[in-house]
Structure 1
Amino acid sequence: MHRLRFEEPGPPRPAELPDGSPAWLVSRYADVRQVLSDTRFGRARLYADEAPALFDAPDIVNNPDLMFNQDGPDHLRLRRTLRRAFTPRAVARWRPWIAEIVEQLLDGLAGQPRPADVVETFTLPLPVAVISRLMGLDASVRDRLRHWSEHAFSDGSHEGGQVEAVLDEFSAFGARLLATRRLDPGDDLISGLVRAADAEGGIPEAQLVSLVCGLVVGGHDSTMTMLGNGLLYLLGERPDAWERLGRDEEAAATVADRLIHLVPLGDDRGSARHASLPVEVGGVTIPAGAVVLADCGMANRDPAVFPSGLADGLFTPLEAPTLSFGAGAHYCLGAWLARVELQTALHRLAARFPGLRLAEPVDAVTWRTGTTSRSPQRLDVTW
């Protein structure tokens, strides 16, 4: 998956949606950044009754109540609510215990017989433990996270009715979690969201439920995917860089940023937007009403902006902000959490296991299937 091929970015051009409907593909860095930042390109109209189908199967990403799919005042209310919960004081408190979770998992890995599956022992339990601690989830819920994630990010291989039933179950869980925290608030992220939502006012309950569910599955699935894919690349293709990650924490942070920038979460090639007015992008006029696919993967490889790649620039700071977390009003508020987890995980794993190596050839690795995010199903390592 880390070897997905991308075309050279170029001017905006006509494209097609899965149902054959017309769209525009935008792929150069400046053009993609413009589309993601310009309020004339929105998300909400993509879910109007007359809008073409963006995807073939139901999933959580295309729930109109999701914060990512709101625009204008509705989006700002939800975003302010989340921002109130992600205060700088809270972030500072979380960093030390994230490091503690990493160390505990590494202690467990050290006691495993070799070869050991680093997915089962580290890349999956780390983000699950972090999001569970953040949200105050108990062990019984943790066992359901993978089940919910597999259906929330289904690639269409699951039966539609099954996906809808699982998402209904997941939404009911989110609603119960909010109700519980209202009655008995604590020092967790959900309690913070409840307090922030009450202070903000005017937020429909369905949008809060979608926000909670999106945080639960998105908060662990993306980090697990990034970490698994990153380890496969580093151990499989850059073993020469491994020891340096353990010696130099700053270098590990730079490498983490490069991996986030260039190793995709999956094969979804466009962040869709709806043009409310005619807009000139890259010398081309995008007509009003058009669906625009902003390809962040191609834009992150724009040679005019990013002359260095993984092969020659692994330890080189990014030349411009990555678009892997989006841009503009919909920029991912959880970006800091993903960075902290990935940086800490890579640095401490390399420090504790400087001789870590793959126990099987790269082309023998099996991949998770059934979801839009892709990473190794298991990754056997030894040391």
Structure 2
Amino acid sequence: MIKKVTTPAGDPAWLVTDYDQVKTLLADRRLGRGHPDPDNAPKFTDSVLLGKPHQATAEEENERHTWMRRMLAPSFSARNMELLRPRVRRLADDLLDDLVRQPQPADFHEAVSFQLPVLVICELLGVPYEDRETFRRWSEAMSTLGDRRKSEEGFTNLWTYMGELVERKKKEPGDDVITRLIEGTPPGQEEVIAQLSAGLLFAGHETTVAVIDRGVMLLSINPDQWDALSKNPNDIPNAVEEILRHRSPASQRPEDSGMPRYAMADIEIDGVRIPSGDLVLLGIDQANHDEIRFPQPHAFTSREANPHLTFGHGPRFCIGAPLARVELTEVFGALVTRFETFGLAVDVAQLTLRTEQLVGGVAQLPVRWTDA
């Protein structure tokens, strides 16, 4: 289904929600973040993230994207992420050790969901973990939806920080992604490396934090699935795919929403012509609940086939998907093998939502448990 909608910023857009249509457009190189006239392009939000597009033709954007993937693919390959798995499990176990020392209920969001992805992405990129609270503030400011100034300040601060880190690593290289980007990029591209690194730092923790929280909520309100995983931890990977497919039980996102992209040429899909320059919202959530692809789509259950589009599809499939899957399988594997019971200490309706943040999620996640 394709229909005209109005974005949160008040501009017109095309919303696409049919699974096959969304999948097709995700792989279409004529759809991207570039626009010939960014200042006058329709906007999705007032945030610096997913707000105004950058100026680029389809050819320029695809060249840049190809370069980026070529630079990052080795570091984030499925093979390298598998080698990282034992380290991620040790980190998850250590964080759960810290959690159980706290009185119940304890805030799982702060103790585990936030800490684990930040620890991992900091180690991969070569970012000092002790700076986490500083770049956390900047990340949250950068993804603020309703305050353009605050969003731009957060982005500028994070970009400046990464630029300073790039300069330090030129003098003191390490075994990390930022060093490899420096070594593989011609001199004079430090700003590009800093911007790319800032994006990796943001994406490498914000989205995974929200998914870990979502999984805890889903398992809490579906105790039969918790029991099934406790008896058969080998099914954790299937449960993770279902967590990735689902919306958060606490979500209040409008139905008329989606991933914003711009038509960089005229595009026709199923008889509908989308003119070049128009804003297109790819309804990933809606596609992930397509009844044809996912029988009983609102049920949270183990599925043999789960071709969700959460990580995208085609040449722009999320490069961080293998890392996210390792983190998610290890944290939920640690949970179901360590605790006999585990879940929310309050009703989902009582959770405080991060409604002003692009990624959304919750501010706290109070939980209770009993040891296995």
Fold shared, TM-score > 0.5 on shorter chain: yes
Amino acid of the structure 1 residue aligned with 2:347: P
Deviates more, 1:102-111 or 1:363-372: 363-372
Q: Does 1:182 align with 2:170?
A: yes
- Where do residues 171-210 of structure 1 align in structure 2 (5 Å cutoff)? 171-198=159-186, 204-210=189-195
- CA gap of 1:79–1:266, structure 2 versus 1, over 3 A, is farther
Match of 1:6 in 2: none
Residue aligned with 1:56, SS: coil
Residue aligned with 1:15, SS: strand
Quote the offset at 1:363 in angstroms.
Answer: 2.1
Amino acid of the structure 2 residue aligned with 1:221: E
Q: Does 1:338 align with 2:324?
A: yes
Residue number among 233, 236, 241 corresponding to 2:218 in the alignment: 233
Match of 2:122 in 1: 132
Match of 2:38 in 1: 48
CA distance in 2, matches of 1:64, 1:181: 28
**Where does structure 1 lack aligned partners over 5 or more consecutive residues?**
1-9
- Where do residues 72-87 of structure 1 align in structure 2 (5 Å cutoff)? 72-87=62-77
The answer to whether the 8 A contact 1:266-1:372 is kept is no
The answer to whether the 8 A contact 2:143-2:151 is kept is no
- CA gap of 1:129–1:258, structure 2 versus 1, over 3 A, is same
Match of 1:284 in 2: 272
- CA gap of 1:256–1:65, structure 2 versus 1, over 3 A, is farther
Q: Does 1:162 align with 2:147?
A: no
The answer to whether the 8 A contact 1:257-1:318 is kept is no
- CA gap of 1:82–1:46, structure 2 versus 1, over 3 A, is farther
**What is the RMSD computed on CA atoms of the aligned residues?**
2.7
Deviates more, 1:76-85 or 1:362-371: 362-371
Deviates more, 1:27-36 or 1:15-24: 15-24
Deviates more, 1:126-135 or 1:358-367: 358-367
Match of 2:235 in 1: 251
Amino acid of the structure 2 residue aligned with 1:272: P
The answer to whether the 8 A contact 1:245-1:346 is kept is no
Match of 1:315 in 2: 302
The answer to whether the 8 A contact 2:142-2:152 is kept is no
Residue aligned with 1:250, SS: helix
Equivalenced residue count is: 364
- CA gap of 1:62–1:245, structure 2 versus 1, over 3 A, is farther
- CA gap of 1:155–1:228, structure 2 versus 1, over 3 A, is same
Q: Does 1:91 align with 2:81?
A: yes
Quote the offset at 1:34 in angstroms.
Answer: 1.3
The answer to whether the 8 A contact 1:17-1:23 is kept is yes
**Where does structure 2 lack aligned partners over 5 or more consecutive residues?**
none
Once the two structures are superposed, residues 206-238 of structure 1 have per-residue CA deviations (whole angstroms, 9 ceiling, x without a partner) of 332221001111111111101112211211x11
- CA gap of 1:120–1:280, structure 2 versus 1, over 3 A, is same
The answer to whether the 8 A contact 1:84-1:193 is kept is no
CA distance in 2, matches of 1:319, 1:88: 19
CA distance in 2, matches of 1:371, 1:123: 16
The answer to whether the 8 A contact 1:267-1:372 is kept is no
TM-score, normalised on structure 2? 0.88
- CA gap of 1:249–1:211, structure 2 versus 1, over 3 A, is farther
Amino acid of the structure 1 residue aligned with 2:213: G
Match of 1:211 in 2: 196
**Structure 1 vs Structure 2: percent identity of aligned residues?**
31
CA distance in 1, matches of 2:44, 2:207: 21
Once the two structures are superposed, residues 191-220 of structure 1 have per-residue CA deviations (whole angstroms, 9 ceiling, x without a partner) of 22222335xx8x843332221001111111
Q: Does 1:363 align with 2:353?
A: no
Residue aligned with 2:178, SS: helix
The answer to whether the 8 A contact 2:5-2:12 is kept is yes
Q: Does 1:16 align with 2:6?
A: yes
Once the two structures are superposed, residues 37-88 of structure 1 have per-residue CA deviations (whole angstroms, 9 ceiling, x without a partner) of 112223211763332233223347757399xx97221221112111133245
The answer to whether the 8 A contact 1:65-1:210 is kept is no
Match of 1:4 in 2: none
Q: Does 1:106 align with 2:96?
A: yes
Residue aligned with 1:355, SS: strand
Residue number among 353, 365, 372 corresponding to 1:379 in the alignment: 365
- CA gap of 1:84–1:323, structure 2 versus 1, over 3 A, is same
Deviates more, 1:337-346 or 1:240-249: 240-249
TM-score, normalised on structure 1? 0.86
Amino acid of the structure 2 residue aligned with 1:239: P
The answer to whether the 8 A contact 2:345-2:366 is kept is yes
Where does structure 1 differ by over 4 angstroms across 4 or more consecutive aligned residues? Answer: 60-63
Quote the offset at 1:345 in angstroms.
Answer: 0.7
The answer to whether the 8 A contact 1:115-1:359 is kept is yes
Quote the offset at 1:18 in angstroms.
Answer: 4.0
The answer to whether the 8 A contact 1:115-1:381 is kept is yes
Match of 1:7 in 2: none
